Structure 1
Amino acid sequence: MGTTRLVGIDVGTQGTKAAMYDENLKIAASAYVPLRLKRDEMDHLVQDPDEIFDSVVLALKELVSQTGISQIDGIGISGQMAGIIAIDEDWDFVYPYDSWLDTQCEPYVHLMRDYSYEIVSSSGGQVTCAHGPKILWMKDVLPERFERACKFITLSCYVTGRLCGLKAKDSFVDHTHLHFSGFADNQNGKWNNDLLNAFLVPYDKMPEIVSPDKIVGVMDENVSKFCGIDKGTVVVAGMGDTMASITGAGVVEKGIAFDVAGTASVFSLSTDKFIADTKYNTIMCARSPIENLWIGYAYISGGGLCLRWIKDLLKGEYEVLDDMASKVEAGSANLYFIPHFAGRTCPSVPSVKGAFMGLDWKYGDAHMYRAVMESIAYEYSLYYDILNEHGATASVIHGAGGGSKSHVFNFIKASVMNLPYVPVKNTETATLAMAGIAGYAIGAIKNLKEAICVSSQKGDVVDPNGTLYLEYCVHRKRYKEILEGISRIYNEV
């Protein structure tokens, strides 16, 4: 029996990544094609669906060129999660990809928040500028296009459908996206008719809800020919990029926290229970592709960008600033930083902005740099407290992204949370997960959890410091008080 060839593709905001793996999830080649985020004639942040699809095709073609391998057995695609595409009956888009970064639908966020308790209880997601408000925006602002739209689908679904030559009647959404929908009964894997009716959204405009590993088609022959791929490549439904990244990092059983230390700072925790955070309106709850597993998470928009901002402001280098910060006492000598430059996302308080609190002449570059890192750890601890209230606990934190390369940053998070921190070495966890899902769907991978765990390479464990944890308990309490106080000020301003 020959080697199975699997391809995982991750369509992000800035570009499309693709990688070829074998049935043991050993990588053979990778490719990257950049994408553009632009403003349309209405000054809204969108992306061109044709450009997105072309990037996937070019990435596939590059993999074949690098390896000389034309037989690909399975493909899985992940994509940006909170945006939406409206398609007609022939799978042609009636409006560009409405990016998760665009806030044109904010008035409809406020409208849907009148049903916040019902939406969070049913979908597990908070009401943000995601699928529901974006659909309502089109219904009111672009009624003709809304009428033309047969289905509203996610980015990964759109690309997969184009790859297989599907029609709107074949459309689908995988269950990892449901918490962003605003209209889903997430626990039962179906649409909530009461919520659809409340907002006058026709049921027939919603796609079928499926599992990420469902085989939805075979690669179109013309596309295969262009890429140099043999006929008959199976394509699965795929899933959201955040969920793919979390899964590919080895979060395949309950009790594992995961830190995405990238542009955004994302903290998540796996659990065997559905979480509806109707009390704090902070935690999102997504269904994992792993059976009977849920992921509770929250994030700081642009948390990682705050580190780059302070680095550039101080005209330093990460390694040098890390070394300087490691010599500063825990709590940065009572200097605190608020990392919400883009507004507070979880919970949604857009008026809150960033700030240093307590500055005086004794502080230098190292104090400010460490305070920025500590602020992200404090935020994570607030998320973790809420997850604890729902009975979710962690035994370890896995970390990925550029920030996880910093030992001092990892040590701060470990000590604030009182949990060991394990950085993940392989950076392309999303493509690994998608290749694994495709391999599992075609029977080449028998035990998906085991295959991902074996392939997820871990770095050295960073243990927490118990003494520092006690000190940080005091500092994170002060941080919470400062955050609440500054939130009131920003709301008044």
Structure 2
Amino acid sequence: MKYIIGVDGGSQSTKVVIYDLAGKVVSEGRKELQPMSLPKPGLVEHPDDDLWESLVDASQEAMNRFPGEKEDIIGLGLCTIRFVRCLLKEDGTLSAPAMSWMDERVSKPYEHTNHDTAYVTTSSGYITHRLTGEFKDSSGNYQGLWPINTDTWDWSEDDEVFKKYNIPRHMLFDLQNPGTVLGCVTKEAAEATGIPGDIPVIATANDKAVEALGAGMLSDQSGLISLGTYIAGMVHGHENPRDTTHFFPNFAAVPHEYLYESNGIRRGMWTVSWFKELLGEELTKQAEALKVSPEEFLNNEAAETVPAGSDGLITVLDWLSTADEPFKKGMMIGFDGRHSRAHMYHSILEGIALTMKTNFDAMCEELDIKLDNIVITGGGSNGDLIMQIFANVFGIEAKRNSVNGSASLGAAINTAVALEVYNTYGEAVDQMVEVSDTFTPEKDKHDFYTRFSKEVYQQVTAHTDGLLKKAHAFFNEQ
């Protein structure tokens, strides 16, 4: 037996999963990240050395639970959160806290305000250096404001591009494609993490692309919905289109392939967690009495008591506004005496599905494609209720894989291909990705959601935006 480590460094936790070559989970470790540091309005940072220290803790946990022989682990695939900017000293240590994807600075050209900074890189570049000592990074994780040529997957050869982004070439890491060896685990990193020394560390891509690969996404006829803090919708593609309207092309985890990503939902599944926490101790006690989790309790309650449309309760999921529309707010409207916490929960799930259906429709129309099915990934997909709502809203089969937190599996697939365990990504997906459950749409509910979305849900913000703009002037978004 041989094994592969898949690292999934997310925005809420770092997960380290050890797989066998058939994609089965052998052991895993997880470490929650610290709450974000907010030193000033607009600045959102990972405190201390949290990205690395969480990896150390999660790796130790996974290795302590690993039942096999360490020498049978053949490689490590590294996937981390995208849009994070890390400033490093000459020796590769942090010169400042890592900037979150929510930090306004990552949406602007780099500013040379820290004289200790010798390198500007991504979260994967930083962690690669901590693991291997190399100043290398995956080209597939350079989304946002970087001087990269998205056709060649390498740094631009145009001096004006470097001036635009204000990062000289000598401050950037060397780039390698997904599925190549970045370096090997150093003795120091092995001692810290428990990971075997000298095993190769494999380049993957940005977290959404690696998640798509781990979900088996290699066709434009299957859509992926990633239920995370940011909910994204994606399809696989082969071209790098320009001037798109309803989607943007992202690097795929397969070299020189692309992932087309629709508009998403900021603080998507965070909103579900927020609602659950609002219910507090009462929900916890009721769930414990039935020996189920609070999430399972809410799912069962809503599935048993709430019809499609939540008896007219509508949720708009703008819990985190964008910089160009700071007035946007999350809303629940349409309350009456029928409504309970189950209605509110059901309405949030419907809002997620209806929003993503609207976003997918716009993307698919622009691409001139039609989906045969959707795959739902992320922890939120564990609930049968949200899976069935997605099937009913989209009107096509909604699938859930055996490994539904699929970024770590995607990292393992990149590693399996890099180390020639499998010859192609198609072969690796066939061997390592397994569908667990398929949810079939209920025609009457699909017909209802189709009419309701067009005639009501998509019209809500046109009527509320003006009022929210006026309210924003009073409160100035603190």
Same fold per TM (> 0.5)?
yes
Q: 5+ residue gaps in structure 2?
A: 284-293, 472-478
TM-score (norm 2): 0.84
- Closer/same/farther in 2, CA of residues 335 and 273 from structure 1, 3 Å limit: farther
- Closer/same/farther in 2, CA of residues 364 and 51 from structure 1, 3 Å limit: closer
Q: Distance in 2 between matches of 1:230 and 1:344?
A: 43
Residue 159 of structure 1 and its aligned partner are, at CA, apart by 1.0
- Closer/same/farther in 2, CA of residues 303 and 34 from structure 1, 3 Å limit: closer
Q: Distance in 1 between matches of 2:146 and 2:470?
A: 29
Alignment correspondent of 2:330: 354
Is 1:93 the counterpart of 2:94 in the alignment?
A: yes
Structure 1 residues 296-315: aligned runs within 5 Å = 296-297=260-261, 298-313=263-278
Q: CA RMSD in A?
A: 2.8
Partners of 2:205 and 2:252 within 8 A in 1: no
Q: Distance in 2 between matches of 1:460 and 1:24?
A: 18
Q: 183-192 or 208-217, which moves further after superposition?
A: 183-192
Partners of 1:179 and 1:284 within 8 A in 2: no
Partners of 2:77 and 2:203 within 8 A in 1: yes
Q: Distance in 1 between matches of 2:452 and 2:388?
A: 16
Q: Distance in 1 between matches of 2:142 and 2:339?
A: 46
Alignment correspondent of 2:287: none
Cα deviations by residue, 1:425-473 (Å, 9 ceiling, x for unpaired): 3244222221221222122232333323433232321111333323222
Cα deviations by residue, 1:170-210 (Å, 9 ceiling, x for unpaired): 333x2332332354332332345444333544344333332
Partners of 2:313 and 2:333 within 8 A in 1: yes
Q: 227-236 or 418-427, which moves further after superposition?
A: 227-236
Q: Which amino acid aligns with 1:15?
A: S
Q: 1:159 aligns with which of 127, 131, 140?
A: 127
The number of aligned residues is: 450
Partners of 2:373 and 2:396 within 8 A in 1: yes
Q: Distance in 1 between matches of 2:99 and 2:207?
A: 16
Residue 480 of structure 1 and its aligned partner are, at CA, apart by 1.4
SS in 2 for 1:469: helix
TM-score (norm 1): 0.82
Alignment correspondent of 1:56: 55
Structure 1 residues 28-427: aligned runs within 5 Å = 28-39=26-37, 44-48=43-47, 50-66=49-65, 67=67, 69-71=69-71, 72-103=73-104, 105=105, 130=106, 132-133=107-108, 135-136=109-110, 138-139=111-112, 142=113, 144-145=114-115, 148-166=116-134, 170-172=135-137, 174-181=138-145, 183-192=147-156, 193=158, 194-225=160-191, 231-276=197-242, 278-280=244-246, 283-291=247-255, 293-297=257-261, 298-313=263-278, 316=283, 317-326=294-303, 327-343=305-321, 349-388=325-364, 389-427=366-404
Q: Which amino acid aligns with 2:25?
A: I
Residue 396 of structure 1 and its aligned partner are, at CA, apart by 0.9
Give the percent of matched residue pairs that are identical in Structure 1 and Structure 2.
21
Q: Which amino acid aligns with 2:207?
A: D
Partners of 2:391 and 2:441 within 8 A in 1: yes
Q: Distance in 2 between matches of 1:209 and 1:79?
A: 16
Residue 380 of structure 1 and its aligned partner are, at CA, apart by 0.5
Alignment correspondent of 1:458: 435
Q: Distance in 2 between matches of 1:307 and 1:49?
A: 28
Residue 229 of structure 1 and its aligned partner are, at CA, apart by 5.6
Q: 5+ residue gaps in structure 1?
A: 106-129
Partners of 2:403 and 2:409 within 8 A in 1: no
Q: 351-360 or 378-387, which moves further after superposition?
A: 351-360
- Closer/same/farther in 2, CA of residues 402 and 31 from structure 1, 3 Å limit: closer
